[in-house]
Amino acid sequence: MPALFFPNLNALRIALASGLVPLEISQSPADAGFDRHGRLWLQTAESLPRDSLAALARVGVQALGDAGVPTSPVSCWAELLPLLHEEAERGPTLFLVPEKQLARFLAKLRRSPRAGVGLTLPDLDETGAAWVTAAQPPEELLVEAAEPACPFEAFTEQAPGVWVRHGRRHPVPEFLAVPDGCVLLVRPPRAVTPVAWTVPRPASDEFPLAAVAARCPGRAAALPEVAVKLTLAPRATAEREALWVLDAARVADFWSFCVSADASLTARLEAAFVGSGGATRLAVRVQGKRSPVPVHLPVAGYYQEPSVPGLFVPTDRVVRPALRVRELTRILGTRPGWLVWLEANPDGSVTPQTVADAAFRPVHDLIEYQAPVVKRLATVPRTDPFALGRFVVASDVLPLPEAQPTALPVDDPLAPVVPPEETSWLRRSLDKLFAKVRQPRAAPDDTPAPVPEEIPEPPTPARERVVRKLASPDALLHGHDWTARRQNLEAGLFTHLPGLGPAGRAERWSELGGVYAATGNATDAAVCWMNAVWEVAAPPEHWLEQWLLAECRAAKLTDTVGGLERWLSEPGRAGVGRVVAAYTAAVGLSPSPPPEFVATLPRLLAFLDLHFDDVPVRAAWLARYAAARVCDGDALGLARWRDRVLARLAERGPGLDLDEPSFLRFHGTASAERFQAAREWVEGVRGPAIGWIGKMAARSPAAKLQWSGIDAETDCTAAYAQFMLAWGLACLGERTKAKNWAARARKVVSRITGPGVEAAAHAVLGDLFLLRVRDAQEGRSAKPALPPELQSRLDALPELARFAVDRLREHSRILEPVDRVRAFRGLDLKAFWGADELAERLFVLTNRQDRDQLADEANELLQLCTDNPTTATVPRVVFTLLDVAPWLDRAALPRVLELLPAATDWCEAWLASGRWGEAERPGRLVRYQTRLLNAGFSAAALLEPGASGLVTDLVRRLVAGGDRVRGPLLATCGHAFRVLRQRGLGGAAETLVRFLDPGQSGVRRDPARVGLAGGWYTAGHEDAGNRILDEARERLFLGSAADASIRTPLAVAYAEALGFAPARIAHGRLEEIFQRLGPVEVMGSTNSYFTLRPLQLIDAVVRSVVTDEFALGPSVRGWLDDDEFLIRGRIHRDLAAVLREQDIR
């Protein structure tokens, strides 16, 4: 039978606890052995099922040939797991006492006041020792049994029939095979001894006495009750107001106060509408315990009674009589989560009024700001203060007749814009190219045209103004401004494209193509002319010419020597595939293609097949359709081409870089000018960034300690940095240069070899970067999973190589913008999860990738938290579900986020039951709370656009946690503000940043505080954000030697915060990083492959320039869906027409 190779004993424990191996196999005898590295080889008597082997492979278990180590028989698999140290609970204990020590041992045991002892005499025992059981043994006996030289042993029962040495614990005692009629004695490290005997039950030495019925005397009289009448007595000095209750007549006064109040004042107030006696009143309270709020309202306020939480008393009164807090709480009914205020009655008594804390909402959420109504001013005619007669000063210059303007021809406003006729070599070449396909024209008539008789013009009066006639109504609208005309056409196409008919779309596309051609934008002109040709069955000849001309200009084909032959001989030239496709469509769709065109069709089709992925979908189909028409209907070839085109559309849809004009990418929050500025910045920063990485090699020229993580790796690090910059260019629409940079970087990483370096790891990373660049070029949204082919290659990597790949994916938002990668595969969280059954479920959950299984398990875990919301379940379940949030159903995310504040608050109680000491626990608490909140805000970014209220409520509840969550919120504030800005929640961002930075105290040597700048920018306070960035910049470039220890995290935080700043501030400062930044941290476990920290910084820099504002919005994606529908409709109609012509049904 094949041997199972376990990389560690933890894999065996997971396999048993998770049920990956059938119980009848795991509890059957087997042969096992350990190699010199402590790895387990297990050989079973029966072969495992295929599904069990597949499940074991997911935890690292391999099925190999014969075991390569000496083996020994074991009765079950669980015997191979060593015992763990654990403080055992006090309970029934079994002692194995030698015969000579039995009397002294029993004497010690009898001194304990706790009863219950069981005994088996030595002559009946196979072990030669007496078995003594005690229900509650004294502590000193247990301590003595733990000593190495102690003559007796102590055992506790962990499973039926399984007794484990006291102070130890078996990982999976329920999986030990207990023979019938026997018990198992388990000793460290993994010795299991079956004994054919039963453990005696402890019994009491006292004799039970019969119960005697006693007479019960009569019930004592109830104690007298003293009625207490609470009153409100005057006090000497009034307290600070913290609560106001306004009736319906005073509510309008409060809202009038809010109109004139400062926004920082209303941000500290909360309000709730309450009902009392059929009337609705408004309760207003102050949030927090900071300085008093100067609220001037025409009603008496209430102050917080310091002795009773949640009780408010009028500011000039005090409760009488003075009672104990417990009695006062019982009488008034105060309880957590409720607010009570006392109102005086005319008879001197008081009436308590209550309202729930959850009813209060921030005042600024209840205020809706409206712009003032525009008041149109009437024009009052001015009276002439000097009513004098009009006069004109005579001129001394002799009047000369002015020339009469010639009437300009009026253009058709709907006619497409055609660029002026050119006489360059390119135009002449195209004329020759299309001379054969044009219709012959009639010979010109040489008869001279009659000269019209000149009619004398009447004289024009002097000094009469001559008005120039406009060439067209469009010039009257735009004033001959090409930019305004282009923007008007782009907006009309984006808004009305689905509603226009084919003729309307063709007319708009041709007009926009003419504008692009006239302004020198050849790439967009080619797309527009192609779309215009697509919309008509028989396109005009000059449209086809303009399309081919624009493609030639875009490809920079400035030399026409050789013509088509040269194009086909340069397959590697950028854009030549589009030129050949346009040429094939233009000639094939003409009325009479030349004979030589038919002869070159095989070469043309082979060339198009080679460049299929670089040619627009419309161009690819039009070229193949034109070729089929020339060949009298190649239905089979056209059908195969149809399948290929539709498969491309199904996989990627219309690509922004190939199939659509560039204005579609600019249609969003970022303008075309911002796109251009960002594109120029990314292109210019490549040299400084690569040079900055190269300086690390100069500091360690030998670079002999990369394998140990001490020296920096620079070759692959520079290549991966170029990948990131190529991704930035791809997002900004620079397809050619992005593809070139990515190809060069892929070539570099493919050549890297050396000891301890797996070339397959670089291949996986290179292909993953190429995939992200293609996704950015085509505008595809990110998905949480890798493609199956890449995932299988990643899983096949050795342990250290796989760790290096996952480590970069974990720290790069470019590689993994959605998913949360776990480089340690959850092993770093085992201590947090614990060691119970729930911990095993959570560990297995994080390694699943089946969405259906994840959804079912998530629902069960959420139901567990609903039924049993304890500190042992909620923190761990919420932590795990948020870590796999990208894989969950969107409907489950609100339920998980609803538990986030409670999970964050209860983490401290859960960690208190763990194995950490008092000194280590605070650091662990902040670490786990920070990761929990970070995952929570990432999950909030995945919610539907209409769920912004849920995110706002989440921020409010987290802020209500006070100082308990201030540290974790500060550590993750940069990511939190990024999510809030993405969802447009400026008010929630202001609430959070004012809670985290109430005094605007700056950085203070804490890199996490740099993220507060993003909060101020999101809230609209640019000055506060600039102040934090200025201080961070000073510490980063001009700081002392003490600041060098925080330089690396400070640089990353500074780069991320600059992503919130305006481009005029951010671009220069980001480039300054590569010019002035000193040495950063280069030590790391991945230095054999790349240096992580510089790549993390460059990733932050690129993402700060190419922000979420450049992402496609829902309107653009809807436009792409409509365009794909139009493409598919034309393809099906064309193929159906060819089939009908050939009578194929």
The 10s digit of each residue's pLDDT in 1037-1064 is 887 655 566 888 889 999 999 999 988 8
**Residues near 842 by beta carbon (within 8 Å), at least 6 away in sequence:** 833, 861, 876, 877, 880
Instruction: Give 1117-1125's long-range contacts (Cβ < 8 A, gap of 24+).
Output: 1117/781, 1119/494, 1119/497, 1119/664, 1120/653, 1120/654, 1120/656, 1120/660, 1120/664, 1120/779, 1121/653, 1122/497, 1122/498, 1123/497, 1123/654, 1123/659, 1123/660, 1124/649, 1124/653, 1124/654
Percent of the chain with pLDDT over 90: 13
Structural tokens at position 644: 């290929």
Question: If DSSP codes are grouped into helix, strand and coil, which group holds residue 169?
Answer: strand
Q: Is the dihedral of CA 1072, 1075, 1081, 1084 positive or negative?
A: positive
Q: What are phi and psi of 278, to 5 degrees?
A: 85, -5
Q: Residue 971 is inside which H or E element, if any?
A: helix 966-971
Strands 338-344 and 350-356: antiparallel
Mark out the alpha helices in 868-899 (DSSP H runs).
874-883, 893-898
Count Cβ atoms below 10 Å from residue 132 Cβ, excluding itself: 23
Over its C-alpha atoms, the chain yields an Rg (Å, rounded) of 41
pLDDT of residue 432: 54
SS3 assignment, position 98 = strand
Residue whose structure tokens are 């770093």: 828
Residue ranges of domains in the chain: 3-80, 87-186, 235-366, 476-666
pLDDT band of residue 766 (cuts 50, 70, 90) is very high
Percent of residues, the chain, with pLDDT higher than 70: 82
* Euclidean distance between CA atoms 295 and 243, whole angstroms: 10
Retrieve residue 1145's tokens. Answer: 């049904």
The CATH number corresponding to 87-186 among 1.10.287, 3.90.1690, 3.30.1460, 3.30.70 equals 3.30.70
Distance CA 886, CA 891 (A): 12
Taking only the tens place, the pLDDT of each residue in 439-451 is: 444 444 444 444 4
What is the spatial order of strands in the sheet that 117-120 belongs to? 117-120, 129-134, 93-98, 153-159, 162-165, 183-187, 191-195
Instruction: Check if the beta carbon of residue 1058 is closer than 8 Å to that of residue 1105.
Output: no
What length is written for the chain? 1145
* Mean pLDDT across the chain: 80
Q: What does the pLDDT average to over 511-531?
A: 87
Instruction: Say whether the peptide bond before residue 189 is cis (omega within 30 degrees of 0).
Output: yes
pLDDT score of 403 more than 50: no
At residue 419, the pLDDT reads 44
Cα–Cα distance measured from residue 1029 to residue 1010, given in angstroms and rounded to the nearest whole number: 7
The token duo for 531 is 């779309």
Q: What is the C-alpha separation between 835 and 838, in angstroms, rounded?
A: 8
pLDDT of residue 1064: 85
Q: pLDDT value at position 471?
A: 39
How far is residue 632 from each of residues 534, 682, 940, measured CA to CA in Å?
A: 20, 50, 58
Q: What is the pLDDT of residue 495?
A: 77
Nearest to 1112 by CA among 756, 691, 675, 710: 675
pLDDT in tens, 303-347: 888 888 889 999 888 888 888 888 888 888 888 888 898 888 888
Q: Is the pTM of this model over 0.85?
A: no
The residue type found at 139 is E
Q: Of 950, 960, 933, nearest to 985 (Cα)? A: 950
Q: Quote the distance between the C-alpha of residue 905 and its chain's center.
A: 24
In sequence order, the β-bridge partners of residue 169 are 84
What pLDDT digit, counting tens, does each position of 233-280 carry? 888 888 888 898 988 888 888 888 888 787 778 888 899 988 877 788
**SS in 3 state form for 1007-1035?**
HHHHHHHHHHHHHCCHHHHHHHHHHHHHH
Rounded to the nearest angstrom, the gap between the alpha carbon of residue 538 and the centroid of all alpha carbons in its chain is 48
Q: What is the pLDDT of residue 768?
A: 92
Distance CA 24, CA 8 (A): 23
**Chain segment 448-463, per-residue pLDDT in tens:** 444 444 444 444 444 4
Extract the tokens encoding 498.
């689905």
Which tops the pLDDT comparison, 375 or 708? Answer: 375
pLDDT of amino acid 263: 77
